[in-house]
Structure formats: C-alpha cells, structure tokens
Amino acid sequence: MGNNRSTTLSAVYRNQGKCSGRHEFHAACLQEKIPAVRKRARIHLLEGDGTMKAVRMHGLGGTEVLHYEDAPEPLPRAGEVLLRVRSASLNHLDIWTRAGLPGRQPPRMPHILGNDAAGEIAALGEGVDHLRIGDRVVVNPGYGCGHCEHCLSGRETLCREYRILGYELPGTYAQYVTLPAQNVVPMPPSLDFEGAGSIGLVFLTAWHMLVTLAKVRPGETVLVLGAGSGVGIAAIQIAKLFGAHVIATASGEEKCEKAVRLGADETIDHAQQEIYREVRRLTQKKGVEVVVEHVGQVTWPDSLRSLQPGGRLVTCGATTGPFGETDIRYIFSRQLQVLGSYMGSRGELLQLMPLFADGRLRPVVDRTFPLSEAAAAQEHIEARRHFGKVVLLPD
C-alpha cells in the first residue's frame, strides 16, 4: 500500500449499506462486516482477523494484574486514526493507574495502559485527509473536548474533559491504538521508533514546566530533582538548551555521572547528601532561580528552601506522596512562586520536534522489553534501576 491514500472506513460501510453516514459506526458493521470490509478497503498494513495482542488489566493491583492476551482490534471513528504501535514507553502514571489512585474512579475494565507511542498510521477514519497510510508519527497522549475556550486557545490541558491515553482511555500497551488524528505529529527522521516512542509525555511535560510556566532564562540556575526519571532527563536537556546552569539530583555515583554526560553542570547524590545544604554550598548560599519538582512529599521542603528570593518552583508530580509540608510564611516573605503543571499542548509538542530532528534534544532509553513482558518492565521502574525511559516493543 505504501503511501497511497486509504479509503475511509465510514465510506466503505456506507457502500455496504450498513452505515447512516452520520460519522458513526453501527454495531452490525463493527461486529459482522469488519474482516471483509477491511480487506476490500485496503485500510491495513497487515491483514488480520480483527484481534490484536495487548497487555490488559482486569482489576487493580500489582503487576500480577497485567495480562498479555488477545483483544479486539480498535477501529477509528470519524476524525481518528488507527496507529500500529512500534514502541510504547512506560511512565509512572501507568503504575499509579494499575495500583489505583485515591479518590479517582478506576478505568473501565479490561483496561490497556500506556500513554506514549510511536508507530505507523494503519487506517484513517472519515474526514482525515492530511495523513497517509504508513506515515511515521509520534503520539501526543492528551486531548480535550476540542471546542471549549481552553481548547480553542491552545490550552487544552485546562479543559474539563481533558483525558490521557492509558489513564482514562485505552492506551498503547498494544499492537494498535486509536486516537484523534490531531494527536499525532510527524516523527523526526533522525529518530528510531524506540527513541521516538519515549519522548511524548516527559519532554512535553518538562517543556511546559520550564519554558511555558517557569520561563527559564539564560544564566539562571535550575535544580532538577530525579535526574534519571523521564521528566529529569528531559528537564536537564531543556534547561541547558535555554542557557541555564543545571544542578541535578540522582541516587548513586553511576546515575550522577550519567546526569553530567547528559548536560548537568553539577550533581547531588540525594542518597548520601542533603539536597538543601548542597544547593546552598554550590550556589554560595544564594539558592536557585528554578526548581523542577516531581518527587513530591519527600523532597518538597528541601525544594522550597533551595529557592532564592523570588524563585519559582514548578511541580508536575508527587511520586513519593502528595502531602508536602509547607510554611506559608516562607513563601510570601520570600515572594516565591509555586507553579502547578500538567502535561502540555499540541503546539508545544510541535515546537519540540525540530529540536529532536537537529539533535539539540535526544531521547534517553534505558532498556527495552517485549510487550509481553510489560510486568517485568514495570517492576524494573519500581525498583528504581533505570536511568531514562523504559520502552515496550510489540511482538
């Protein structure tokens, strides 16, 4: 099929007399006619029987709830694409979703985890005419309603209906996934699938934190917590790209050395050293202008104390717990800014892609696992053995 334009699914169903043409798919079409329609429409890169391999969870719990099994292959609705997943990276959000988040409704079971992916367009829903079968793309994992004031102004992360693949929606631990066509961007030709599938969520998050919210400037000092995490590896590179001096924390000498090779100017081994005291020493007691915080409860007091007067703390997570002890007087008397950050916009992801294309930013992949070993991959992250992203490769 190559780059030939695909016949859209809705058009095929209408030709079969099974679809109303109102940009929706009828159950009879989906359940009875899919194999024959798929073959005649030539919408697939590979012929199939309507099933795929996926890692699904049927309840909350540990890695024992992850099952590698057959699942129905999804089909794109109007405005959507079917992506053949070539790589899917893990995030801590996968683990929290699997275990269950306090106060959050569990996803509908069985559920497929996975926020990030890179792959090839395998099918086009009706109305998608700017993409071709076989296009290599990177996934933007979050999207809103598309028509509220926030979505229309490019701030879709503020949308009340904002959702993330693998969290509220079926995700990328699978051979195929459907998503809105506007949520894929061209994959930089300089990247392979393993690297491209690892950049979506963490680089988008770090860019939104440092560039959009904290507005990092040349010559400022930035403290990056958890240098070996996905957000950490992204934040170090982005801060350096904007001319900042970077102090990064990591656990152990080996990870600290890797952080330096990635661009950090100085490191703190938080397993052996107190973050606040080391920041004071390294900055001649001035403190830092910006803290990239995502560790949460354990590091929160040190993160605030590490800021110089007028400094900005930007946070996107709470890996060690959500309750950070805060002396409010310290914030207002030193005129500190505490900025909450959640994901990022499509426009920001488009800003990132040329930086990967020309090598100014680069993915960092710690290890790959077959899709069938998703449980082992999550255990690798939970053991904190990784530096960089852990990536699943569909079998």
Q: Which helix (H) or strand (E) holds 151?
A: helix 149-152
pLDDT band at 49 (very low <50, low <70, confident <90, very high): confident
Do residues 85 and 227 both lie within one domain? no
For the cut 60, the answer to whether the pLDDT of residue 228 exceeds it is yes
Considering the entire predicted model, what is its pTM? 0.88
The pLDDT > 70 percentage for the chain reads: 88
Do residues 191 and 277 both lie within one domain? no
Q: Cα dihedral angle (293, 294, 297, 298), rounded to 10 degrees?
A: -80
Do residues 310 and 178 both lie within one domain? no
pLDDT band at 103 (very low <50, low <70, confident <90, very high): confident
pLDDT band at 16 (very low <50, low <70, confident <90, very high): very low
For the cut 60, the answer to whether the pLDDT of residue 30 exceeds it is no
Do residues 84 and 156 both lie within one domain? yes
Name every residue whose Cβ is closer than 8 Å to that of residue 328 and which is 6 or more positions away in sequence.
none
pLDDT band at 388 (very low <50, low <70, confident <90, very high): very high
Report the Cα 348 to chain-centroid distance in Å.
13
Backbone dihedral angles phi then psi of residue 34, each to the nearest 5 degrees: -60, -50
Which candidate, 210, 191, 240, 257, places its Cα nearest to that of 391? 191
For the cut 70, the answer to whether the pLDDT of residue 38 exceeds it is no
Do residues 207 and 178 both lie within one domain? no
Task: Read off the pLDDT of each residue in 195-222 and give the average, rounded to a whole number.
Answer: 98
pLDDT band at 104 (very low <50, low <70, confident <90, very high): confident
Do residues 157 and 39 both lie within one domain? yes
Higher pLDDT, 134 or 4: 134
For the cut 90, the answer to whether the pLDDT of residue 227 exceeds it is yes
First to last CA, the chain: 22
For the cut 90, the answer to whether the pLDDT of residue 39 exceeds it is no
Do residues 250 and 270 touch, judged by C-beta distance below 8 A? Answer: yes
Do residues 150 and 262 both lie within one domain? no
Q: What are the tens digits of pLDDT across the range 159-183?
A: 999 999 999 999 999 999 999 999 9
Do residues 298 and 368 both lie within one domain? no
Do residues 18 and 86 both lie within one domain? yes
SS3 content of the chain, % helix, strand, coil (to 5): 30, 25, 45
Which candidate, 164, 53, 187, 73, places its Cα nearest to that of 114? 164
For the cut 50, the answer to whether the pLDDT of residue 71 exceeds it is yes
Q: Residue 353: inside a domain, yes or no?
A: no
Q: Residue 352: inside a domain, yes or no?
A: no
- Residue 351: per-residue pLDDT: 96
Do residues 169 and 286 both lie within one domain? no
Q: What are the tens digits of pLDDT across the range 186-205?
A: 999 999 999 999 999 999 99
For the cut 70, the answer to whether the pLDDT of residue 42 exceeds it is no
Q: Residue 254: inside a domain, yes or no?
A: yes
Q: Residue 71: inside a domain, yes or no?
A: yes
Q: Look up the CATH number of the domain holding residue 266.
A: 3.90.180.10
pLDDT band at 37 (very low <50, low <70, confident <90, very high): very low
Do residues 195 and 218 both lie within one domain? no
Do residues 134 and 248 both lie within one domain? no
- Residue 5: per-residue pLDDT: 35
For the cut 90, the answer to whether the pLDDT of residue 124 exceeds it is yes
pLDDT band at 26 (very low <50, low <70, confident <90, very high): very low
Q: How many domains are contained in the chain?
A: 2
- Residue 158: per-residue pLDDT: 97
Q: What are the tens digits of pLDDT across the range 327-371?
A: 999 999 999 999 999 999 999 999 999 999 999 999 999 999 999
Place of tokens 């996803």: 107
Residue 219 domain boundaries:
202-340
In this structure, of 1-5, 160-164, 357-361, 375-379, the range with the lowest mean pLDDT score is 1-5
Q: Residue 356: inside a domain, yes or no?
A: no
Task: Read off the pLDDT of each residue in 60-81 and give the average, rounded to a whole number.
Answer: 97
Q: Residue 139: inside a domain, yes or no?
A: yes
- Mean pLDDT (the chain, rounded): 89
Q: Residue 1: inside a domain, yes or no?
A: no
Q: What are the tens digits of pLDDT across the range 243-301?
A: 999 999 999 999 999 999 999 999 999 999 999 999 999 999 999 999 999 999 999 99
Task: Read off the pLDDT of each residue in 48-57 and give the average, rounded to a whole number.
Answer: 91
- Residue 382: per-residue pLDDT: 95
- Residue 48: per-residue pLDDT: 60
Q: Residue 3: inside a domain, yes or no?
A: no
